[in-house]
């Protein structure tokens, strides 16, 4: 199973109620497009995502390239109960990808396991628990997309 941290969505907003609706920035949109090639050799039969826009937008290009539907799941949102998260993951096939947030990575794998925005962990089951097996860094952003992302920043 693949566990993806959403791509870049700019800076966290001060109000959680407003931050929930934060969308990908230009670099995040480029990284989302890059996931199509970066994960091309891996079988995916199901894509589930936190319902937050930055997560859904991170997997839309990948889902479209594979003719899959993105399933929104509250269990992948920050603040979801750890038991609910584990039950969801336990019910998914090994060929699933779940897109979520840093807080959920920390809940599931511990604070010592890091994941960059747009990065992916291949998870394995060990003694009934999900453990990180292989880290896939965020996709490299093509130079034309990187230039567009740099140009869209405000200082």
Could you list the mean pLDDT of each consecutive 10-residue stretch along the chain, which spans 155 residues? Answer: 93 67 89 97 98 96 98 96 96 97 93 94 93 95 58 44
What pLDDT score does 87 carry? Answer: 96
What pLDDT score does 15 carry? Answer: 62
SS3 of residue 92 by DSSP:
coil
Residue 22 burial (C-beta neighbours within 10 Å; 0-12, 13-18, 19+): middle
CA-based torsion, 145, 31, 21, 68: positive or negative: positive
Q: Domain residues of the chain, as ranges?
A: 2-10+21-150
- Over residues 120-148, the pLDDT tens digits come to 999 999 998 999 999 999 998 766 555 45
What pLDDT score does 9 carry? Answer: 87
Query: So what CATH class is 2-10+21-150?
Result: alpha beta
What pLDDT score does 40 carry? Answer: 97
What pLDDT score does 155 carry? Answer: 32
Between β-strands 2-5 and 129-136, what pairing exists: parallel, antiparallel or unpaired? unpaired
């Amino acid at each position: 199973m693949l566990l993806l941290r959403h791509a870049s969505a700019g800076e966290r907003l001060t109000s959680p109620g407003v931050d929930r609706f934060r969308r990908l920035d230009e670099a995040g949109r480029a990284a989302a497009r890059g996931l199509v090639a970066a994960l091309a050799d891996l079988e995916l039969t199901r894509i589930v995502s936190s319902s937050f826009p930055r997560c859904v937008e991170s997997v839309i290009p990948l889902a479209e390239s594979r003719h899959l539907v993105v399933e929104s799941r509250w269990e992948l949102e920050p603040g979801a109960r750890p038991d609910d998260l584990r039950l969801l993951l336990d019910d998914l096939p090994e060929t699933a990808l779940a897109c979520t947030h840093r807080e959920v990575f920390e809940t599931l794998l511990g604070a010592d396991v890091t994941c960059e925005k747009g990065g992916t962990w291949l998870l394995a089951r060990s003694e009934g628990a999900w453990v990180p097996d292989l880290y896939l860094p965020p996709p490299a952003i093509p130079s034309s997309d990187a230039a567009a992302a740099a140009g869209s920043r405000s200082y």
